Amino acid sequence: MADKSFDEVLGKHLAEFRHSLAISQEYLATMLRKDQTFVSKVETGKRSLAVHDFIGWINALNLSEQEISDLCMNLKKSHDE
């Protein structure tokens, strides 16, 4: 994954979490009070997430502390490669 940007790696992981919950981009966007294109751009790495948007995203997906920790470790690992 070393050839992918941080935003692409983060987006991929966030999309995987969303898929595992069978939530559509449209539904997540409604929960985030954003539009579907915002979700799509984040998930494809074409848009960065501000910290407050990231917190909203993990709250909307109801990620556990362990899932958040694993996500951060995966992001660090991909950044270090």
pLDDT in tens, 27-62: 999 999 999 999 999 999 999 999 999 999 999 999
Question: Over the Cα atoms of the chain, what is R_g?
Answer: 12
Q: Taking a C-beta distance cutoff of 8 angstroms, is the pair 75, 9 a contact?
A: yes
Q: Where are the domains of the chain?
A: 6-80
Per-residue pLDDT, 78? 79
Architecture of domain 6-80: Orthogonal Bundle (1.10)
Apex 69 CA angle, 34 and 27, nearest 5: 25
Torsion 27-28-33-39 (CA) sign: negative
pTM for this entry:
0.87
